[in-house]
Amino acid sequence: MTEPLAPGSTLGILGGGQLGRMLAMAAARLGYRCHIFEPGSAPAADVAHAWTQAAYDDLDALRGFAESCDLITYEFENIPAPALDVLSETTPLFPDRRALEVSQDRLTEKTFLAGLGLATAPFAPIDTPADLPTALAATATPAILKTRRFGYDGKGQARVMTPEDGAAALASLEGAPAIAEGFVRFSREISVIAARGRDGTVSAYDPGENVHEDGILSTTTVPAALPLTLRTDAVLIASRILTALDYVGVMGVELFVTPDGLVVNEFAPRVHNSGHWTQVGCAVDQFEQHIRAIAGWPLGNGARHANVVMENLIGEDVARVASLAAEPGVQVHLYGKAETRPGRKMGHVNRVTGPA
């Protein structure tokens, strides 16, 4: 496809959470309709044209969904391979399945990143408990054990301070295939949100500085307190990853800042929580940028016109929304989730702290 997707076309979005919701709103602004595929509750469906509520192993439902869409994208990366097979029978998927397959598995992902010559934490596979001593010898301690698949917001992880802690840490992962990662002594965590268009053009946003609480992103601040050389390095790293994957869409790349330079932690083949600041900081935000990329539009410029702090509203934080909304320069986003639960992302605010 070389022409941009025609107005009125239907974009399928796998996953109906807040990222899908914000993608659907951006798509609507560009003249498209969205069809959400989501088995559970779907904040995205509230702002979309259609919703298929079915499981990812319901191949008939997937087939019907795919046939109703001109293009399919996703807001989360754990889509099973058989589902991808069915979708691809009729409808193009962006970003394509290689990006998903590489990022779904931490071992494949780290091996891919190291293969590009990028710095990562030292890592080693743990398929069975017998692999533990060799793996910890390779990474040294302290280390972090992580399940290879299905980890998010710090879940599926256990710290190992000394080799003697290893067996208990591994047991907490309940037999899932894992990797050991050497502990990176970082001063800051940053992320780059970058996009690659169907024509290979790359556009990146300024790196943001991330603070996590209990493994969940709490705030992202732009500009990150980094020298220009490191900001440039971060963007170049993201571009290498996008180009090596022949990627189409928006990606979030998480990096550690260390005295020896930047170390790549992981990347997500989708719009990213740490890119929400672009909604108030840039003319084209990450959601519109993703829709532009996959629909074959020219990419928006990543230039930033404001300094911004994005704050996630997690669980009961959402009760502060009235006072936050009364602050000048604060943009409020609520995800329309009926039930407030601890650790649940209920919304976020973007606070403009000054001109860029």
Tell me the number of residues near ligand AMP by CB under 6 A: 13
Nearer to ligand AMP, 10 or 104 (CB): 104
- Which pair of structure tokens corresponds to residue 40? 């559970």
Nearer to ligand AMP, 252 or 300 (CB): 252
Nearer to ligand AMP, 35 or 148 (CB): 148
Q: Which of 27, 144, 291, 314 binds ligand AMP (CB under 6 A)?
A: 144
* Distance (Å, whole) CA 169 – CA 99: 30
As measured in angstroms, the least distance from the Cβ of 139 to ligand AMP is 9
| Cβ pair 267, 279 in contact under 8 A | no
As measured in angstroms, the least distance from the Cβ of 152 to ligand AMP is 7
Nearer to ligand AMP, 150 or 246 (CB): 150
* Distance (Å, whole) CA 254 – CA 281: 19
What DSSP string runs through 112-170? HHHHTT--B--EEEESSGGGHHHHHHHH-SSEEEEESSS--TT-SEEEESSGGGHHHHH
Nearer to ligand AMP, 110 or 348 (CB): 110
Q: Which of 12, 151, 208, 275 binds ligand AMP (CB under 6 A)?
A: 151
- Give SS3 for 304: coil
- Give SS3 for 224: coil
Nearer to ligand AMP, 179 or 282 (CB): 179
Site string for ligand AMP, 297-326 (x = CB under 6 A): ------------------------------
Tokens 């001063």 -> residue: 187
As measured in angstroms, the least distance from the Cβ of 91 to ligand AMP is 31
Site string for ligand AMP, 254-283 (x = CB under 6 A): x----------xx-----------------
As measured in angstroms, the least distance from the Cβ of 217 to ligand AMP is 8
Q: Which of residues 162-221 bind ligand AMP (CB under 6 A)?
A: 181, 183-184, 189, 212, 215
Nearer to ligand AMP, 121 or 204 (CB): 121
Tokens 């969904």 -> residue: 65
Question: What residues pair up with 90 in beta bridges, in sequence order?
Answer: none
Nearer to ligand AMP, 110 or 231 (CB): 110
* Distance (Å, whole) CA 147 – CA 125: 10
Q: Say whether residue 121 binds ligand AMP (CB under 6 A).
A: yes
Report how many helices (DSSP H) and strands (DSSP E) the chain contains, helices first: 11, 17
Residue 225 is which amino acid? A
Backbone φ, ψ for residue 20 (5° rounding): -65, -40
Q: Say whether residue 62 binds ligand AMP (CB under 6 A).
A: no
Q: Starting from the edge strand earliest in sequence, which strands make up the sheet with 157-160, in order?
A: 123-126, 178-182, 143-147, 157-160
Residue 23 is which amino acid? L
As measured in angstroms, the least distance from the Cβ of 196 to ligand AMP is 22
Q: Say whether residue 159 binds ligand AMP (CB under 6 A).
A: no
* Distance (Å, whole) CA 273 – CA 261: 24
Contact footprint for ligand AMP (CB under 6 A): 121, 144, 151, 154, 181, 183-184, 189, 212, 215, 254, 265-266
